[in-house]
Amino acid sequence: MNYNDAAFLTERIPLGDKRALSRAITLVENEDPRALKIERDLYSLTGKAYRVGITGPPGAGKSTLVNVLAKEFKSRGNKVGIIAVDPTSPFTGGALLGDRIRMGAALADHEIFMRSMASRGGTGGLARTTTQVADVMDSFGFDVLIIETVGVGQLELDIAGAVDTTVVVLVPEAGGGVQAMKAGLIEIADIFAINKADRDGAEILKSELQDALSLMPAIKNGSWDLPVKLTVALEGRGVKELVDTVYKHKEHLEASGKFHKNRQSQAEIKIRDIVRAEIGKRLWMNPSLKSVLDSLSGFCVEGKIDPYSAARTFLQSAEAQR
């Protein structure tokens, strides 16, 4: 029983040991050397969980919605896991992770596993390691994985590349469809949920959004008409319909072949990231290449060489070293 041992953890996770899962997530999050073995050994068990992303502005009610969504998925016989990302303070490196507060009901009977993640410098609304954490959770045997992002501003849109269905949560106060278009939310959304529909303006936002959508050529979505759903997460209203819509989207992805295609491009992203990191390690951690780089950058400052030629010279030295 050694919860610090990677081999032990990979053995225990498929058996349903939550503590092993929890520790493995920590190692992955910390980018600990042991995480590599864990991710590699468990990868063959991943792919089964349907991944749903929940994103939207701060305070839109994402966590409250995840709470009721998780319960609804569970009541339909699914084993549900949740990952919720909150921002790390760029000044102190600390984070206050408060998403569990809203998920009391879903978490009460301990059948739903929920993990908070600090963004730790990740910029796209996720932490750098959120996808890997999702993979490890996937291997535990969840049917549905719900991932809540940091409250997005603009251009924090990594979630779409990490999940199968992206739900963008807006609130009546959020301003109209034009804002959503500007913020790039229409590009990443598979479903819009207008939450806090108990407040004035929800119907207006809905029709504004639908107007904005009707102007958009259906580039990304093909035959999928972006649905706009109203929810009152606090009361659980509209949640069954939202889950139905997630399943409709899933069917659409599967029937059109996009499910496989999306997953393949996600795998491609993973490979690219690993290759980039590996190349970086080989180039920048190599002491003799470092001294080549030092002298080249010195020459640049002295005006003896331009950065492009310096880069070519650097790559030639790297080649010569292999």
Partner 1 sequence: MDKIKVLVAKPGLDGHDRGAKVVARALRDAGMEVIYTGLRQTPEMVVEAALQEDVDFVALSILSGAHMTIFPRVLEKLREAGLDHVVLTGGGIIPPEDMDKLHQMGINKLFGPGTSLEEIVNYFKEEGAKKKVS
Ligand X SMILES: Nc1nc2c(ncn2[C@@H]2O[C@H](COP(=O)(O)OP(=O)(O)OP(=O)(O)O)[C@@H](O)[C@H]2O)c(=O)[nH]1
**Residues 24, 42, 52, 60: which binds ligand X (CB under 6 A)?**
60
**Which residue from 40, 59, 96, 278 is in contact with partner 1, where contact means CB under 8 A?**
96
Residue with tokens 């969504």: 69
The reply on whether position 139 binds Mg ion by CB under 5 A is no
Reported residue count of the chain is 322
- Residue 38 or 66: the one with the smaller Cβ distance to ligand X is 66
- Produce one character per residue of 261-297: b if its CB has 16 or more CB atoms within 10 Å, e if not: ebeeebeeebeeeeeeeeeeeeeeeeeebeebbeebe
Is 30 near partner 1 (CB under 8 A)?
yes
Considering beta carbons, is residue 209 or 232 the nearer one to ligand X? 232
- Window contacting partner 1 (CB under 8 A); options: 23-31, 201-209, 288-296, 298-306: 23-31
User: Which of partner 1, ligand X, Mg ion, none binds 233 (CB below 5-8 Å, type-dependent)?
Assistant: ligand X
Q: Which is nearer to partner 1, 151 or 177 (CB)?
A: 151
Nearer to partner 1, 109 or 319 (CB): 109
Asked if 196 interacts with ligand X (CB under 6 A), we say: yes
Distance CA 49, CA 42 (A): 14
Distance from C-alpha of 238 to C-alpha of 226, rounded to nearest angstrom: 17
Q: Is 97 an interacting residue with respect to partner 1 (CB under 8 A)?
A: yes
- Tell me which residue of 117, 151, 152, 153 sits closest to 137, measured CA to CA: 117
Binds partner 1 by CB under 8 A, chosen from 12, 34, 62, 115: 115
- The CA distances from residue 271 to 40, 109, 268, 274, 275, in Å, are 13, 38, 5, 5, 6
> How far, in Å, CA of 235 to CA of 53, rounded?
21
Structure tokens given for 249: 């989207």
Q: What is the DSSP letter of 225?
A: -
* Closest approach of partner 1 to the CB of residue 68, in Å: 16
Which residues of this chain interact with Mg ion, rule CB under 5 A? 62-63, 99
Interface residue list for ligand X (CB under 6 A): 58-64, 99, 102, 151, 195-196, 198-199, 232-234
